[in-house]
């Protein structure tokens, strides 16, 4: 009997340590009316990749953000509204600017800066990729069609499903994204009218669409005002979570890499 109890205890300990090993991946959310929202595709993509998703509610409280950053092993910054151009990169808003969300801007910038300072791996998707420019000293095109008439590719796709890729991207050989996907070309979905304009110091462009729009960024060195230059940061302008969430595994390796980096840091 004693042996059986000891054996059960041993199994329980193994199970606890195994579950403790799965990294916790924070996922930024947004507020809509009186609800905290995030698309399930982000949550399901993190789960499919072996991570434990943890939805993070919008806050501007530094202590809350510090406590959350101390809890997570990795972070996904999600898609959404336009950033306030005057506040974050000193440009007057042009008429084609979309809806801005000042509370979320503040939250996203504080959260990514705290996560990067702590060396937590960060994956930014769509707005989350544009956030990398906003939070670390770069800027955005406020509206591609009106500011870049030569950009001929349709970046707000019209396909009936968000899981369907409509335009191609060229991926820089040797880059992080190239290593993750194992190819220098991909067809991606596209739901943006803004894009990164000035790339901040410490980042490099690793994918572009055929009309030259930035479709991926990754860390290449030290960021302005940050000591450590080793944290894993990847931003993509497309939506791998919509494709992964629909059961197509083509971009699942992006989430696997994030979860793997989070596990390694842990």
Alpha carbon 165 to chain centroid, angstroms: 18
Active site (annotated) includes residue 241: yes
Q: What is the DSSP letter of 186?
A: E
Active-site residue, from 155, 167, 192, 239 = 239
Give the residue with the Cβ less far from Mn ion, 156 or 266. Answer: 156
Alpha-helical (H) ranges within 136-239 are 144-147, 176-181
End-to-end CA distance of the chain: 37
Give the residue with the Cβ less far from Mn ion, 113 or 167. Answer: 167
**Residue in the shown chain whose Cβ atom is closest to Mn ion:** 190
Among the listed residues 82, 73, 79, the one whose alpha carbon sits nearest the alpha carbon of residue 41 = 79
Q: Which residues are CB-neighbours of 181 under 8 A, at least 6 positions away? A: 171, 251, 253, 254
Among the listed residues 1, 6, 21, the one whose alpha carbon sits nearest the alpha carbon of residue 263 = 21
Min dist. Cβ of residue 114 to Mn ion (A): 29
Min dist. Cβ of residue 153 to Mn ion (A): 7
Give the residue with the Cβ less far from Mn ion, 130 or 190. Answer: 190
Active-site residue, from 126, 129, 192, 257 = 126
For 4, the token pair is: 């059986």
Active site (annotated) includes residue 92: no
Strands 185-188 and 214-219: unpaired
Active-site residue, from 129, 218, 241, 257 = 241
Give the residue with the Cβ less far from Mn ion, 59 or 151. Answer: 151
Among the listed residues 195, 180, 73, 68, the one whose alpha carbon sits nearest the alpha carbon of residue 129 = 195
By CB under 5 A, name the binding residues for Mn ion.
155, 190
Min dist. Cβ of residue 188 to Mn ion (A): 7
Min dist. Cβ of residue 129 to Mn ion (A): 11
Residues noted as catalytic? 126, 239, 241
């Amino acid at each position: 009997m004693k042996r059986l109890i000891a054996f059960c205890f041993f199994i329980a300990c193994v199970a606890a340590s195994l579950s403790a090993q799965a990294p916790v991946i924070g996922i930024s959310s947004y507020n809509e009316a009186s609800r905290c929202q995030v698309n399930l595709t982000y949550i399901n993509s993190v789960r499919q990749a072996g991570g434990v998703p943890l939805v993070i509610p919008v806050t501007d409280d530094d202590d809350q953000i510090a406590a959350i950053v101390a809890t997570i092993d990795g972070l996904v910054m999600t898609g959404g509204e336009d950033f306030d151009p005057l506040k974050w990169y000193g440009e007057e808003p042009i008429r084609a600017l979309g809806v801005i969300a000042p509370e979320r801007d503040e939250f996203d910038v504080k959260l990514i800066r705290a996560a990067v300072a702590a060396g937590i791996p960060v994956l930014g998707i769509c707005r989350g990729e544009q956030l990398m420019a906003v939070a670390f000293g770069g800027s955005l095109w406020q509206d591609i069609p009106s500011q870049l008439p030569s950009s001929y590719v349709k970046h707000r796709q019209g396909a009936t499903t968000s899981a369907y890729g409509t335009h191609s991207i060229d991926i820089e050989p040797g880059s992080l994204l190239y290593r993750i996907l194992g190819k220098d070309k991909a067809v991606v979905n596209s739901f943006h009218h803004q894009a990164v304009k000035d790339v901040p110091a410490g980042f490099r462009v690793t994918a572009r669409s055929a009309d030259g729009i930035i479709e991926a960024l990754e860390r290449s060195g030290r960021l302005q005002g940050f000591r450590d230059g080793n944290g894993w940061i990847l931003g993509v302008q497309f939506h791998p979570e919509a494709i992964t969430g629909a059961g197509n595994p083509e971009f699942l390796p992006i989430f696997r890499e994030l979860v793997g980096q989070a596990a390694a840091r842990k």
